[in-house]
Amino acid sequence: MQFVFTGRRSVEELTGALIEAGWRIRDGDRVSYLTDPDMFEWKSSDLSDVARVLEELEAARISNGSCAAIFTWGDSDVGGSFLIDSFGESVTLDPVRNKVTRKDVDAFLDFEWYLGKVIPCFESLGLSGFRIADLPG
C-alpha cells in the first residue's frame, strides 16, 4: 500500500501522525528500523531509543534516500514496515507483522482494516491518494 502526499513531509511529521493516531514504533519488545542506503540491513534498538531512532531515520532519508521502521497498531502485534521515500512524498506500508486477512476469503489481505487505520493519520498531512495491490506471496 503506497500513500502519496501533495508535498514533502519529514520523518517527524509522518511518524508523529502515526503515533498520535495509535500506531507504535515497535517490533515486539524492540524498535526495528532501516537506514541502510541499500535498503537491506535492518537495525534493532531498545524501545527507550525511539527519539534517537527517529533522528537517524530523518538523517538517512535526507542523505541516503528512503528509510523504514516497523510499526504496530495499539496493543496488538499487527503492523508492518512503513517505508518513507527519499523526498518524503510517499509512504509504503508492507504489512509484514501478523497480517489481517479478510474474514470471507482468508487468503487475501483486509485492505479496509489497514486503510481505516492509516488514512485518518495522513489526511491532515496532504494525503492525495493511495495505491494498493495484493499479489501472491
CA gyration radius for the chain? Answer: 14
Q: What is the pLDDT of residues 37-83, one digit of tens each?
A: 888 899 999 999 999 999 999 999 888 788 999 999 999 999 999 99
* pLDDT at 134 > cutoff 80: no
| Phi, psi values for residue 3, rounded to 5° | -110, 125
pTM above 0.85, yes or no: yes
Mean pLDDT computed over 2-20: 95
Residue 131: band (very low, low, confident or very high) from pLDDT cuts 50, 70, 90: very high
